[in-house]
Amino acid sequence: MPFVTTKDGAEIFYKDWGTGTPVVFSHGWPLNGDAWDPQMLFLVQQGYRVIAHDRRGHGRSSQTAKGNDMDTYADDLAAVIEHLDLKDAMLVGHSTGGGEVAHYIGRHGTKRVAKAVLVGAVPPIMLKTEANPGGLPMSVFDGIREGVAKDRSQFFKDLSGPFFGANRPDSKASQGMRDAFWAQGMTGSVLGHYLCVREFSEVDYTEDLKKIDVPTLVIHGDADQIVPIDASGKLSAKIVKNATLKIYKDAPHGLSATHADELNADLLAFLKS
């Protein structure tokens, strides 16, 4: 299987399919690169090169004790991009992966990047602070840490409900989507998952967003129960220069699965624009 070895010896797993303009996907927590299967299958069939890696501590990548922080995640993404010598890539990040895309650009610039897409992404910051009164209280994230530590398997099964909006009467979620969420989550490291909670909740990505100088598409569901749109997608679209906000009506956090056809079409149109 293809891996990139980072400076600290971690092995980062990645999938690399097709040829043409590269599209690089960063997944959400607690998933792995397989979360992007609907988009990768579609775009490779449209003649694009698609790449998705598993974040360290997630999926098939190394379960390191150190480096479970966004600085390292962004540098790991850079290692994949540089190993494959990608140019004019479109970076697509979902949820925590949206923070990863923003922080990658904040740390490494856009010399290899042509466009960016943030899908249900956590920036600018999820935590409620004086500067971010619309965020979520720390008790929410402490609850996630507790769930991971006490009974991660059941916690992931329960979390898959609101993640895909399965607790709503108009839900498009299937049992298969929920099962895949659990299965992907359980391939990761409990330590990596626990430490990553801080990175998607307490890290402020505002300065990273300000450094994004390529056309950016912000996609968010207005029924997102995990990363509420008002304190995330709507704010990011205002901060990023050249950003376009597209709101998916009644879409949940896991819209890459529940609204795959709509997202696939939007990604293809943005690639061609």
| Nearest C-alpha neighbor of 69 from the set 205, 206, 195 | 195
Quick one: which H or E segment has residue 149? helix 138-164
Q: Which of 224, 232, 236, 259 is catalytic?
A: 224
Q: How far apart are CA 83 and CA 43, in angstroms?
A: 22
Q: Which of 27, 220, 253, 259 is catalytic?
A: 253
Could you confirm whether 224 is annotated as catalytic? Answer: yes
DSSP string for 91-146: EEEETHHHHHHHHHHHHH-STTEEEEEEES---S--B--SS-TTSB-HHHHHHHHH
Could you confirm whether 58 is annotated as catalytic? Answer: no
Q: Which of 61, 62, 95, 232 is catalytic?
A: 95
With contact defined as beta carbons under 8 Å apart, do 240 and 124 qualify? no
Catalytic residues: 95, 224, 253
